[in-house]
Structure 1
Amino acid sequence: MMIVSTIHMRKDIRERLTETYPDHEFRFHKQIESAEEDLPKADIILTYGMDLEARHIESAKRLKWINVMSSGVDKLPMDVIKNRDILITNARGIHAIQMAEYTIAMMLQAARQTKTLIHQEREREWFRKLPIRELYGHQVGILGTGAIGSEIAKRTDAFGMTTTGFNRSGKKPDHFDAVHTIDQLPERISELDYLVAVLPRTEETDQLLNEALFSKMKASAVLINIGRGNVIHEEDLLKALQSNALDHAILDVFNEEPLPKDHPFWFDKNITVTPHMAGLSPEYQPRAVDQFDYNMKKFVHGDTDFLNQIDTERGY
């Protein structure tokens, strides 16, 4: 089989793959453009999921499996893939540790007024009467209780916070004090000091967080979005912050990326912008390859119980 990668992989990862699977041919590329000539011979494509277009799938006549080495599959040409009955797997779960650490870091930044302190240091201003608070004893709601949400809950539990999860089923994983279905969020959102969104891009999540919900939040509440940008109605969020419906928003994902330089989020003092980096880690590629290795062994032997197989009808 030929495995074509459009991912700029580290040398040690490339060597690991070729040594592990000497009977298969790997073609490593740094981007999709240079990989195009190999696509007609590809049985498997390794991708981050943002570079494949319908024409690439159509040219890959032998393609049987797309392994997305990230969690996001919303940029894939799903209709073409579905018509070909091509297997899709993603790397759900490999972001959990670093995204949980990012979330705690951002919560502490907001609680301890870190941005203000950095500004004061730059201005050599000695001022101690800042509205700081502890995480201990406060309530956090986590939208999405999968691998990432559960890792966050593990850490908020360690900080002595009350952690409430929201998901489709209402089923309660470990480390959560309570879990409700997402349609109960309007009834519960007023209780939360922090709201963390870890949701995928689907029709159901599109602009889920809007004026109707922002108006019910505590004026001191902090919103953190590390899932997908479509979850937030951007104009409603700006209005909510300007009217003090909530205190601060920390955003790592956006409807348009990179975020345009003239976007109002950059200029609002109550918004912290980070460049879609919550999931970055030096352990990212090794973890992603661990999952590929698990599925590759099953694929070679004709098994079908793959890790993180994507439902092409639901899109995740």
Structure 2
Amino acid sequence: MQIQIYRTNSSSYQDSNFFKMEKEELESVPGVKYLKSLTEANESDPFVLISNTHTEPTELPLTLLDKTVLMIHPNSGHDNFPKTFVENVDFPIIVGNPIRSNAVAEYTLSSIFHKFTPIKNHSHWSSDRKWDRGLLRDQKVLILGYGEIGNLIYQSLLPLCSEVQVFDPFVKTSAKNVFNKLSDNLIKDKNIIIVAASLTKSSRSLIDQNFLKKISSSATIINAARGEIINEEDLINWMKKNEKSSAYLDVFNQEPFSPGYMLDMENVNKTSHIAGVYDYLNEDIVKFEKKIVSEFIQSHSKGEVEKFLDKNKNIVLTGKSINYL
């Protein structure tokens, strides 16, 4: 069996060199042909589709989907996949959560250290030896989401902060600090709020005026997940009333944000959806794709696709595992 791989969309940071690398690496797997265009397709061979956040799954031709045996979505966010699409297709969808998890976790941790422990260069010896900073030891943290990124952040902050708690309505765990219900007591007086959740119907505008009035008036909010999880108008109003608060925002309701957006707010640090971007991102994307394709083909040839799906169950998107309400 020959597998035809077709990429439905690309991102702005993926140029011709990326496609050349992707083609070479994937075609190094026996039985794989990489298509630049569907006009190159062989009607008798099955497809593996590679998507991204710009892909509109429901707009893909039914003739293509009928011949698809696997879809690889090498992104963490999958809110562009409607529930009905995921439930109705006859092939598994593998999401790329592991690719950017460390990068996004590091962005979040960098934001925290930038806020609480900024290190200034001393041009001469400081006789008073003062350092105006807060200690993480005294901070109470709430992480929204307990996937790969949320878990990394949780494990990193747990030894450093006085309290680290997690809200995730979907995760099943016996961990004492992870909660499925967002109670007032869970939110109350938190100093650091970290968004590490997927965008779902239940998480959209999760952080609104009702949420904000319960946390510390000097809280730091960090969002490198999805912009729509925060009601930006409510956040702006709250931060203008609470000048000791701060926010590190990498994602927004509208992207790109307009020139000068929030520029008058000194307590807001904005970046351009870069939390998951790093020097070797494209190489890691291709490595992930190659690994999944290789494992899938091997398991298919042995009649062990179920073992492949079980091995990758944490990153397999199905109607039962996707978080929709």
Q: Work out whether the TM-score is over 0.5.
A: yes
* 1: CA distance, partners of 2:163 / 2:214: 19
Which of 256, 259, 282 is matched with 2:257 structurally? 259
Between the aligned residues of both structures, percent identity stands at 20
> In structure 2, do the counterparts of structure 1 residues 23 and 171 end up closer, same or farther at CA, with 3 Å as the change threshold?
closer
Runs of 4+ off more than 6 Å: none
* 2: CA distance, partners of 1:180 / 1:170: 9
Instruction: Map 1:189-208; keep pairs closer than 5 Å.
Output: 189-208=187-206
> In structure 2, do the counterparts of structure 1 residues 254 and 298 end up closer, same or farther at CA, with 3 Å as the change threshold?
farther
RMSD: 3.1
> In structure 2, do the counterparts of structure 1 residues 236 and 310 end up closer, same or farther at CA, with 3 Å as the change threshold?
same
Which of 225, 235, 238 is matched with 1:237 structurally? 235
> In structure 2, do the counterparts of structure 1 residues 274 and 203 end up closer, same or farther at CA, with 3 Å as the change threshold?
same
Q: Which has the higher contact order (CA 8 A, sep 6+)?
A: 2
In structure 1, runs of 5+ residues without a counterpart are 30-34, 122-127
Partner in structure 1 of residue 277 of structure 2:
280
Q: Give the length in aligned residue pairs.
A: 294
Partner in structure 2 of residue 164 of structure 1:
165
**What is the TM-score of this pair, normalised by structure 2?**
0.78
Contact 1:214–1:245 (CA under 8 A) maintained in structure 2: no
Cα deviation, residue 266, structure 1: 4.0
In structure 2, runs of 5+ residues without a counterpart are 124-128
Instruction: Map 1:29-48; keep pairs closer than 5 Å.
Output: 29=36, 35=37, 37=39, 43-48=47-52
> In structure 2, do the counterparts of structure 1 residues 55 and 160 end up closer, same or farther at CA, with 3 Å as the change threshold?
closer
> In structure 2, do the counterparts of structure 1 residues 36 and 258 end up closer, same or farther at CA, with 3 Å as the change threshold?
farther
Instruction: Map 1:1-316; keep pairs closer than 5 Å.
Output: 1-5=3-7, 6-7=9-10, 8=14, 9=18, 11-19=20-28, 21-27=29-35, 29=36, 35=37, 37=39, 43-60=47-64, 61-76=66-81, 79-80=84-85, 82-112=87-117, 132-168=133-169, 169=171, 171-173=173-175, 178-184=177-183, 186-244=184-242, 247-261=245-259, 263=261, 265-281=262-278, 282-283=280-281, 284-285=284-285, 288-289=288-289, 290-302=291-303, 303-305=305-307, 306=309, 307=312, 308-312=315-319, 315-316=322-323
Provide, for residues 85-137 of structure 1, a one-character-per-residue CA deviation record: whole Å limited to 9, x for no partner: 342111123222111111110001111357xx79xx9xxxxxx9985312233
* 2: CA distance, partners of 1:39 / 1:267: 53
**What is the TM-score of this pair, normalised by structure 1?**
0.80
Provide, for residues 24-81 of structure 1, a one-character-per-residue CA deviation record: whole Å limited to 9, x for no partner: 2122x5xxxxx45457856111122423453324351422321101122212355456
* 2: CA distance, partners of 1:275 / 1:40: 40
